[in-house]
Each structure stands twice: as C-alpha cells, then as structure tokens.
Amino acid sequence: MGRIIIDLDVVMAKRKMGLTELSKEVDITMANLSILKNNKAKAIRFSTLEALCRALKCQPGDIIRYEEEGNAQHS
C-alpha cells in the first residue's frame, strides 16, 4: 500500500512564493493551505488543484505524487 504525497512546499520554494501570497492568489485560507502543505489533507478539489497550478505555473504532477509504503524518497 502507498500514499499520496503533496509537494506543495517544494513547488512554493522553487517559485519563491510564501503561504500568504499563495493564499491570496488562490483564494484559500492559510489554515487549509497549511494542511495541504504539511500533507495532512485527506482530499483536494480539482478546482483547488487547478488554482494552485495556475498560481504556481506548474502541472498537477509537480504538486502531487504517489509513494510506495516504506519508500521515504522526497524529490
């Protein structure tokens, strides 16, 4: 069994964008953005993913990846 990893922190760092700026641009609360960033989210709406990709100028695969259990690799 594996799990879905949210690499939002990695993409934000590459784009030099902070939580406050991204929160305003995507129109999502800082709390919800923090939940995503810290891999605590149980789900993500496609509309939110689309807004994040638009704001960060990236593809969904840059933000979300699948990891096999026991594989602690972080890109």
- Residues 64 and 49: their CA atoms lie apart, in Å, by 9
Write the pLDDT tens digit of every residue in 31-40: 999 999 999 9
Q: Tokens 């590459």, residue?
A: 14
Domain that holds residue 44: 2-68
Residue 21: inside a domain = yes
Q: What number of residues does the chain have?
A: 75
Residue 56: inside a domain = yes
CATH classification at residue 31: 1.10.260.40
What's the domain count of the chain? Answer: 1
Write the pLDDT tens digit of every residue in 26-61: 999 999 999 999 999 999 999 999 999 999 999 999
Contact 9, 75 (CB under 8 A): no
- Please tell me whether the overall predicted TM-score, pTM, comes out greater than 0.75 for this model: yes
Residue 31: inside a domain = yes
Residue 30: inside a domain = yes
Residue 74: inside a domain = no
